[in-house]
Amino acid sequence: MKKQQKLGKRNTYTPTDASQVCSSVVLSLNREETLGEQNLKTSSNNLDVNQHQQTGGIKSKVFVLNKNGEPLMPCKPAKARHLLKEKKAKVISCKPFTIKLSWDCEHNIQNITLGIDAGSKVIGYSATSKHIELISGELEIRKDVSKKITECSMYRRLRRNKLWYRQPRFLNRTKSKKKGWLAPSIQHKVDTHIRLVGKIKTLLPITRTVVEIAKFNTQKLQNVDIEGVEYQQGQMESYDNLRAFIFCRDNYTCQICKKKEGIFDIHHIIQRKDGGSNRPDNLVCVHNSCHKKFHAGKIKHIFKKPNSYKDTAIMNNIKKYIVDKLGCSYTFGYITKRKRLDLGLEKTHCNDAFVIAEGSNQIRSTVKNMKQPRRNNRCLQKNRKGFKPSIRRKRYKIQPNDIVEFKGVEYVSSGVMSYGKYVTFRKNNNNIKYGKCTDIDSVIYGKGLFTNTEVIC
């Protein structure tokens, strides 16, 4: 008998009930008229290769709370169905699916480590026990907080300018003088990390929490050879102002037409409306006429965009606040990188969190990607061209991003119209239909964390 040849590059489709194999996720194969699919790429059939795949994984567990509301070890969906059928438990949440026992049971729990890969845009989290990873995913943090605050300040200043008289206010900026004060956008990121850890602790009996911290040297990232006194000198040493430094650095030469004669102006490579700063790397010298033609679209030029160190500055501020607030353990980025490379894992936030949670050979769980929605819409008046201003008189029950059930099908709500009489449904980011609010059967509020997506259900 010939020895069976081992496949290394191509593999046939395997059952989805195996824990360490990858299956097909092509949607077109689910249709009856489709008999095959072309140009498919499959992974190796070697179990050692597929052991640490972050895609796929085991089916999500059902979270269990005891009679007093304390978290227990999660169970399989089959066991949860038996408990619900025998009326020994009741459902208290669908996103994520959580049940609460109605009888006193023993409080036997295992050691569970929660790993948090902190970030300024995306947070990775993973909770592992000795043999299995119970939950893992990535949370995308809101990025519009600073922009919303700027708009709010603009509207507030406009209202104040319309007043005939306003009493003087002095020494009212006391928050910035308090110890530990953070800007509202950074404070929101810190609160999101703490809120995420608190939410997971209400679902799982976490015994240890580990957060990855790091200290970035921003000046070293810009200039590798900087040392000693050079840290205090900076780029603009011996220059009167920023404008003079930019003109001298560019040798009084327009960076568009490369000519020296004429009246010069300063151009932002990344515009202020797009989040650009006044750093010297983001400013160039251009002619006044070229500047106007460039913004009018009459001439085109591609500038080299500078490196952004905004995220590094944010992480230098928030990580120490997260560790101090949670009172948890911490690790460093180079340790996480070394362990991740030893396990042969891809560079992702959820894989980093898995390593931070002391993961090694545990069975991986399904990765869930979440996006943090806005809780409240404070817009009171909406001006539409050709229509009179629409002024909100009350807060409606159904808000955007809520999950509603209409005629037996779940949709994501885009909001209401006609003074709350109709609700607009959205599917795949497209508005598809609308229906009367009286025909809505159930509503799952899509605000905060673990909502809007099937995170654990």
pLDDT of residue 205: 94
Cβ-proximal residues to 6 (8 Å cutoff; 6+ apart), any chain: 45, 46
Would you tell me how many other CB atoms lie within 10 Å of the CB of residue 439?
12
Reply yes or no: is the peptide bond before residue 96 cis, omega within 30 of 0.
yes
Task: Give the residue range(s) of CATH 3.30.420 domains in the chain.
Answer: 113-163+177-216+311-371
Question: 180-186 long-range CB contacts below 8 Å, 24 or more apart?
Answer: 180/321, 182/317, 182/318, 182/321, 183/146, 184/145, 184/146, 184/149, 185/145, 185/146, 185/149, 186/314, 186/317, 186/318
Q: Is 165 exposed, middle or buried (0-12, 13-18, 19+ CB in 10 A)?
A: exposed
Task: Give the residue range(s) of CATH 2.30.30 domains in the chain.
Answer: 382-444
Q: CB of 63 within 8 A of CB of 205?
A: no
Cβ-proximal residues to 202 (8 Å cutoff; 6+ apart), any chain: 71
User: How far apart, in whole angstroms, are the C-alpha atoms of residue 248 and residue 384?
Assistant: 48
For 363-400, give one letter per residue: b (16+ CB within 10 A) or e: ebbbbbebebbeeeeeeeeeeeeeeeeeeeeeeeebbb
Which uninterrupted H or E stretch holds 285? strand 283-287
User: How far apart, in whole angstroms, are the C-alpha atoms of residue 281 and residue 266?
Assistant: 12
**CATH of region 382-444, choose from 2.60.40, 1.10.357, 3.30.450, 2.30.30:** 2.30.30
Task: Give, in order, the Cα–Cα distances in Å from 448 to each of 95, 141, 191, 199.
Answer: 11, 11, 12, 10
C-alpha dihedral sign at 450, 451, 454, 457: positive
User: How far apart, in whole angstroms, are the C-alpha atoms of residue 341 and residue 190?
Assistant: 29
Q: What is the mean pLDDT of each run of 10 residues along the chain (457 residues)?
A: 44 41 38 39 40 52 91 92 92 86 86 92 93 92 87 81 69 66 87 92 93 83 82 81 90 91 90 84 92 90 85 80 88 91 92 92 88 76 77 78 80 80 74 71 71 39
Which uninterrupted H or E stretch holds 12? none
CA dihedral 248, 250, 252, 254 (to 10 degrees): -160
Task: Give, in order, the Cα–Cα distances in Å from 353 to each of 62, 181, 204, 270.
Answer: 21, 28, 16, 33
Q: Is 318 exposed, middle or buried (0-12, 13-18, 19+ CB in 10 A)?
A: buried
pLDDT of residue 376: 72
Backbone torsions φ then ψ of 210, nearest 5 degrees: -125, 130
pLDDT of residue 273: 80
User: How far apart, in whole angstroms, are the C-alpha atoms of residue 350 and residue 365?
Assistant: 11
Determine the residue type at 380: L
End-to-end CA distance of the chain: give it in Å, rounded: 48
Q: CB of 154 within 8 A of CB of 160?
A: no
- Taking Cα atoms as reference points, which of 319, 324, 246 lies closest to residue 285? 246
For residue 71, give the 3-state DSSP assignment.
strand
Q: Look at phi and psi of residue 341 and say left if phi exceeds 0, alpha if psi is from -120 to 50, else beta.
A: alpha
Encoded tokens for 78: 């089959």
The fold of 113-163+177-216+311-371 is: Nucleotidyltransferase; domain 5 (3.30.420)
Q: Is 170 exposed, middle or buried (0-12, 13-18, 19+ CB in 10 A)?
A: exposed
